[in-house]
Amino acid sequence: MGLFIVGAILLTVYLSACIFLLIRQRQMIFTPTHDDSGENPSKLNLDYEEVWIPVDSNSKNQDKLHGWFIPATKEMLEGETILYLHGAGGNISNLIYLRDVAQLQKLGFSIFVVDYRGYGLSLGNFPSEISLYEDAQTALKYLINQKRIPFNKIYLFGVSLGGAVAIDLALKEHVAGLIIVSSFTSMQEEVLYMGYRIFPIELILNQRFESIRKVPFLKTPVIFIHGTSDTFNPAIMSQKLYDSAPNPKQLLLIDNFGHNNISEMIENPQFKNGIQKFIQEVKAMN
C-alpha cells in the first residue's frame, strides 16, 4: 500500500508538471520586456526614424508594431537593407540588440529593427509562434510598400528564435537572402537539449518553430552563422539546418563565440568577410 501511495503521488506530480508545461510554455519560451531601459539608437550615435505599423490580424485590438529604421551611412546609401528579427527575450531597446544593429550598419546596411507584439512598445497580446510570424510579415511589407525597397535589396537577419521566424517568412515572401545567426533546428530539439527529456514533449509542445522541416523548401540563398562556443543553441544545430537546406547555401562557424556576444562576433573579420562574400554572391545571381 505504501509503494502504491508513493507511486500515485509521483504520478500526480509528473502529470501536474506536464499540464504546467502545456499551459505555461509560451511564458517559458517568450520572455519579453517592455520599455524598461529607455534606450534607442541615438545611444550609439545612430540616426533613426521611429516607426509604428498597424497589424492586420484577427485581433479586435488596435495592435501595432514599434520599430526603428536606421539608414545606412551617407557614403553607403546604395547598400542593402536588413530586417532584423530578434530573439525570444528583451526588446529592441536592449543594448544587446542595439549593438548588433550598430555593427551591421558599419557593414553598409540600412536596418529595420522591430519588436514583436508583446515586446517593448509594440501593442498587442502576449506573443505566440503564430503572432511572431504575422509580425515579421507585417514588418517586411512595410519595407516593400511604405519604404519602397525592392525585395531583392532586403535581407532577413534572424538571431536565435528570430532565425526560425526568418526562415518561415522566407517561405512566404520573396527576399534577396537569409542570414540565420545562432538559431536552432526546432523548438522540440531545443527543449530536449535543455533537459526536459522525461516529459512527452512531442505531445505537449504547441509552439514548435520547426525550422528543420522548413529549410528543405527554401528558394532563397541562405547563410547559417554560429559561434562554436554557444552552449544555449549548440552550433551543431546550424550544421543540421545547413545540411537540410538546398543550394545556394553557406555555413560559417566561428570559434570562441557564444550565444550572448553576437555583436562582438559581427565585428570579427571572419563574420564580416563571410557576410560580404554572401552578399556579393547573391548580387551575382540577380
Instruction: Tell me the whole-structure pTM to 2 decimals.
Output: 0.93
Q: Give the cell for residue 181.
A: 545567426
* pLDDT at position 20: 67
Quick one: which of 95, 284, 21 has its CA closest to 177? 284
Instruction: Kindly provide the residue ranges of all beta strands, DSSP E only, lying in 91-209, ordered along the sequence.
Output: 110-114, 154-159, 177-181
Instruction: Kindly provide the residue ranges of all beta strands, DSSP E only, lying in the chain, ordered along the sequence.
Output: 31-32, 49-54, 64-70, 81-85, 89-90, 110-114, 154-159, 177-181, 222-227, 249-254
Q: What is the CATH number of the domain that holds 81?
A: 3.40.50.1820
Q: pLDDT 10s per residue in the chain (286 long)? A: 677 676 666 667 777 666 767 778 888 889 999 876 678 999 899 999 999 999 986 656 689 999 999 999 866 656 799 999 999 999 999 988 999 999 999 999 999 999 999 999 999 999 999 999 999 999 999 999 999 999 999 999 999 999 999 999 999 999 999 999 999 999 888 888 777 777 777 788 889 899 999 999 999 999 999 999 998 899 999 999 999 999 999 999 998 888 888 888 888 899 999 999 999 999 888 7
Phi-psi region of 120 (alpha: psi -120 to 50; beta: other; left: phi over 0): left
For residue 235, what are the domain limits?
A: 2-285
Phi, psi of 204 (to 5 degrees): -80, -40
Q: Could you give the number of structural domains in the chain?
A: 1
* pLDDT at position 6: 65
Cα separation, 32 vs 124, whole angstroms: 12
Cα separation, 184 vs 158, whole angstroms: 11
Beta carbons within 10 angstroms of residue 99's beta carbon: 18
What is the CB-side half-sphere exposure of residue 50 using CA atoms within 13 A?
A: 8
* pLDDT at position 159: 96
Q: Calculate the CA 208 to chain-centre distance.
A: 14
* pLDDT at position 60: 64
The angle formed by the CA atoms of residues 166, 24 and 119, to the nearest 5 degrees, is 45
Place of cell 497580446: 125
Taking each helix axis as running N to C, give the angle between helix 129-141 and helix 161-172, from 0 to 180 degrees, rounded to the nearest 10. 60
Q: What is the pLDDT of residues 77-125, one digit of tens each?
A: 567 999 999 999 999 999 889 999 999 999 999 999 999 999 999 999 9
Cα separation, 13 vs 148, whole angstroms: 55
